[in-house]
Amino acid sequence: MSRSTAAERAATDSRRVIKVYAALARFYDGGFDWALGPGRRIAVSTLPILPGDRVLEVGVGTGLSLPFYPPGCRVTGIDISEPMLEQARERCDEGNLNDVDLRLMDARDLTFPDGSFDHVLVPYVMSVVPEPEKVMQEIRRVCRPGGCVFIVNHFRSDNALMRLGERLLTPASQWIGFRLDLPIERVTATAGLETTAIRRVNLLGLWRMIEMRREAIAEG
């Protein structure tokens, strides 16, 4: 596939994601949080967040994670869907969540300087974005050296029969916003991010939480 064709396909996929999540915004919490909420809460509670830390949440959606962050940290949430962000803003207003900055942004092109955040949380995004490697490179760039990056996502199964089912179902699942057959290596192979732990979360352990750390800059 040529570079121009790949870029055109990525742009098409991105437009589809925006359209899908605009339609899902009002129903997302009731339709998905029962299955995905536990992993989200485990990730926030496991991040080693200290008072004053700067946290970036990529794919903040309707803001389901926001009430669980510890007091004293500063959270920036980004999402590609304005209707989802509208729900997140309502959640912040209702919960008096004042240390939250919500922005419309494409995760493939983060408009933050290098090392802007102490930690980055990425819940249920990697199987949605059209260019996972580009997203991971941006996440690494904006996380400070020594900071943590937590990814929560469904990845391609280790079981051959389940892998076949995921591959067959992915063309249909992509039309409702995600793919089932994403290899975990497309995340764990990111240069400059060390994987420190992988644990299974959510219903039947079908999702995984990858704990990573941005490599420190060598002195000398």
For residue 13, the domain's CATH number is: 3.40.50.150
Residue 219 lies in a domain: no
How many residues appear in the chain?
A: 220
Residue 85 lies in a domain: yes
Name the residue among 74, 82, 146, 73 with its Cα closest to residue 112. Answer: 74
Residue 146 lies in a domain: yes
pLDDT tens, residue by residue, 97-153: 989 999 999 999 999 999 999 999 999 999 888 899 999 999 999 999 999 999 999
Residue 220 lies in a domain: no
Cβ neighbourhood burial of 96 (10 Å; 0-12, 13-18, 19+): exposed
Domain residues for the domain of 72 are: 3-214
| Sequence-ordered strand ranges (E) for the chain | 54-58, 74-79, 100-104, 117-123, 143-153, 193-201, 207-214
The pLDDT value given to residue 2 = 63
pLDDT tens, residue by residue, 17-35: 788 888 888 888 998 899 9
Split into its structural domains, the chain has a count of 1
pLDDT tens, residue by residue, 145-190: 999 999 999 998 777 676 666 666 566 555 555 667 889 999 999 9
Q: State how far the Cα of 138 lies from the Cα of 121, in Å rounded to an integer.
A: 13
| Amino acid identity at 27 | F
The pLDDT value given to residue 102 = 98
Residue 14 lies in a domain: yes
The pLDDT value given to residue 220 = 44
> Which residues, other chains included, contact 84 with Cβ-Cβ below 8 Å and sequence gap of 6+?
21, 22, 24, 25, 28, 60, 61, 62
Q: Is 195 in contact with 210 (CB distance < 8 Å)?
A: yes
Q: What are phi and psi of 65, to 5 degrees?
A: -80, -25
pTM value is 0.90
Q: State how far the Cα of 66 lies from the Cα of 41, in Å rounded to an integer.
A: 10
Residue 125 lies in a domain: yes
Centre a 10 Å sphere on the Cβ of residue 99 and count the other Cβ atoms it contains.
Answer: 14
